Amino acid sequence: METRNFAARAGRRSAQHRKIAIFGWLAFVIVAVFVGGALGTRHIKDENQGNGESRTAAQVIAKAGLKERATEQVLVQSRGSLRAEDPAFRAAVLDVQRRV
């Protein structure tokens, strides 16, 4: 009993003509690689890479023309009984800030 669907016929033909099937697939892959290379790639803008709310926020920032500046955050934390209001702690923070 012979099946009539396309996949079965293609599989049977490929099994009967192995060399043609293998070299045909190799030729197809080589042509596809060269065509893909000739077409090139498209680069997606940073603001279009996210999804949902993060993408919307990135697009709003890009439309506003805001530039991302290099920033650094330093956490200065006291140990022991010093508090942020203590003059010694404030002096230490100002000293670190001046050095950085």
**C-beta separation of 55 from 49 below 8 A:** yes
| pLDDT score of 70 | 67
Phi and psi for 7 in degrees, rounded to 5? -60, -40
Angle of helix 6-16 versus helix 18-39 axis, rounded to 10: 110
Question: What is the pTM for the complete model shown?
Answer: 0.41
What confidence tens digit (pLDDT) does each residue in 13-42 have?
A: 999 999 999 999 999 999 999 999 999 888
Nearest to 89 by CA among 79, 100, 74, 99: 79
What confidence tens digit (pLDDT) does each residue in 52-84 have?
A: 898 888 888 888 887 776 677 777 676 777 777
